[in-house]
Amino acid sequence: MRAYYFDNLPGDQHLPHDCVPSQPVPADTLAALNVRSWKIPVNGHEDAINAIAKEQGYKSRDTVNVSREGLGDAYEQRMQGFYHEHMHEDEEVRYVLKGSGFFDIREAPTDAWIRLAVEPGDLLVVPAGIYHRFTLDQADRINMLRLFQDEPKWIPHHRSAETDANVHRIGYLRSIGVDAQHV
């Protein structure tokens, strides 16, 4: 997984949006934001994924094909929803089987976007309460294994004053040492 600061320039969300020169984000910055990742080769990944799932308490899983074929008539609407800034009350755990895409996360307290370019073999854990979004890259397809602590669910809470006060958002900010009143 490659992590770098998003350039915030207008344009196609499927483009890399890397600053010139690039501004890589160090692993310790991601760790300070409670973003976790592993690189696990796709061939033979089952044992490693099962071990992580057991260790982290992920009890269920499914796969999702995010592409025009996989989403059908809902493609445009779903892509807009994925790219709308939001948070979840649960961790978002994704393992890339095929394809590639971008997860953008908000750095706190700076509010800068960090772009995470994911490809096959990347396992990413986006913590509950962090603002983020997702988009495909120009290849326009990704197949991911999704891991869940309980039953599969994906409930986005779009960024607003209400989500700023959400108990999971406040808990996330506290977990990274940020005072929610100053964000």
- Asked if 63 contacts 144 with a C-beta cutoff of 8 angstroms, the reply is yes
- Asked if 160 contacts 37 with a C-beta cutoff of 8 angstroms, the reply is no
Whether this model's pTM surpasses 0.75: yes
Q: Is 86 annotated as a binding residue?
A: yes
**Cβ-count burial 5-29 (b if 16+ within 10 Å, e if not):** bbbeeeeebbeebbeeeeeebeeee
Considering only CA atoms, give the Rg of the chain: 16
Q: What is the CATH number that goes with domain 2-171? A: 2.60.120.10
Q: Is 132 annotated as a binding residue?
A: yes
Q: What is the pLDDT of residue 65?
A: 96
Q: Is residue 78 predicted with pLDDT exceeding 70?
A: yes
Q: How many helices, marked H, and strands, marked E, lie in the chain?
A: 6, 11
Q: What is the pLDDT of residue 115?
A: 98
CA distance 49 to 147: 9
Q: Is 92 annotated as a binding residue?
A: yes
Locate the domains of the chain by residue range: 2-171
pLDDT in tens, 118-164: 999 999 999 999 999 999 999 999 999 999 998 777 789 999 999 99
